[in-house]
């Protein structure tokens, strides 16, 4: 940075009151009057402002808008934020009480019953037999369904199969397949 002695200075005449005010302001902003004046001019140029521009901060319309925004925020706080917070506080308080009560009323069921190897094998055997029976039943249903299919030769192209079954029977068949599928899913 150049020393002040290398700069060329120029004098500007201003009223004494303005000069005193500027010097006080300059001490707050910068270490020299030149830099303060440059900062002020840069501010107005960079922000595309003029010192006589009305920024709307002191007019009544702006104050009304600010007051309207404040009213909206207070309304949101009063009717949305605070009631929601109160409900959550109540919920957490109730949950804490329920957990305390459950801890006090905990029932000791004793040691779990252990399965013997024979009992466990018996359960697997019963489950296997039930599944085999179910598979046989489903095989019979599929055979009956296939027996109701007839091949229809196409007049102008490929042939296709036609199912000789009314709509209610088909819906009942679908429901049975769906129920069997959902009843025997592995538990997890």
- Co-location of 66 and 82 in the same domain: yes
Each residue's pLDDT tens digit, 69-125:
899 998 888 888 888 888 888 888 888 888 888 777 776 666 766 778 888 888 889
- Co-location of 47 and 63 in the same domain: no
- Co-location of 49 and 68 in the same domain: no
Q: Is residue 137 part of a domain?
A: yes
- Co-location of 79 and 49 in the same domain: no
Q: Identify the band that residue 188 occupies on the pLDDT scale cut at 50, 70 and 90.
A: very low
Q: Identify the band that residue 175 occupies on the pLDDT scale cut at 50, 70 and 90.
A: confident
Q: Check residues 18 and 54 and name the one with the higher pLDDT.
A: 18
Residues forming beta bridges with residue 163, ordered by sequence position:
149
- Co-location of 91 and 43 in the same domain: no
Q: Is residue 88 part of a domain?
A: yes
Q: Is residue 38 part of a domain?
A: yes
Nearest to 181 by CA among 133, 128, 135, 126: 135
Range(s) of the domain holding residue 36 = 14-53
pTM: 0.33
Q: Is residue 9 part of a domain?
A: no
CA distance 10 to 2: 17
Question: Mapping DSSP to helix (H, G, I), strand (E, B) and coil, where does residue 128 land?
Answer: helix
CA distance 27 to 42: 18
Q: Identify the band that residue 42 occupies on the pLDDT scale cut at 50, 70 and 90.
A: very high
- Co-location of 122 and 178 in the same domain: yes
- Co-location of 71 and 47 in the same domain: no
Structure letter (DSSP) for residue 56: S
What is the tally of structural domains in the chain?
3
Q: Is residue 1 part of a domain?
A: no
- Co-location of 40 and 60 in the same domain: no
Ramachandran assignment for 116, one of left (phi > 0), alpha (psi -120 to 50 degrees), beta (any other): beta
Q: Is residue 169 part of a domain?
A: yes
- Co-location of 127 and 170 in the same domain: yes
Q: Apex CA 183: angle with CA 182 and CA 188, to 5°?
A: 80
Q: Is residue 45 part of a domain?
A: yes
- Co-location of 135 and 92 in the same domain: no
CA distance 91 to 125: 48
Q: Is residue 8 part of a domain?
A: no
27, pLDDT greater than 80:
yes
């Amino acid at each position: 940075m150049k020393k002040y002695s290398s700069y060329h200075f120029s004098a500007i005449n201003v009223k004494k009151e303005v000069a005193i005010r500027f010097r006080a302001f300059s001490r707050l902003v910068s270490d020299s009057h030149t830099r303060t004046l440059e900062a002020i001019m840069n501010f107005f140029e960079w922000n595309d402002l003029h010192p006589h521009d009305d920024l709307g901060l002191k007019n009544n319309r702006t104050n009304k808008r600010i007051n309207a925004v404040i009213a909206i925020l207070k309304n949101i706080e009063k009717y949305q934020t605070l009631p929601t917070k109160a409900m959550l506080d109540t919920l957490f308080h109730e949950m804490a009480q329920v957990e305390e009560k459950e801890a006090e009323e905990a029932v000791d069921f004793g040691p779990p019953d252990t399965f013997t190897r024979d009992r466990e094998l018996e359960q697997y055997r019963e489950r296997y037999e039930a599944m085999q029976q179910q598979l046989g039943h489903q095989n019979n249903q599929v055979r009956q369904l296939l027996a109701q299919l007839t091949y229809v030769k196409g007049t102008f192209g490929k042939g296709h199969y036609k199912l000789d079954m009314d709509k209610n029977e088909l819906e009942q068949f679908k429901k049975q397949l769906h129920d069997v599928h959902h009843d025997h899913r592995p538990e997890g």
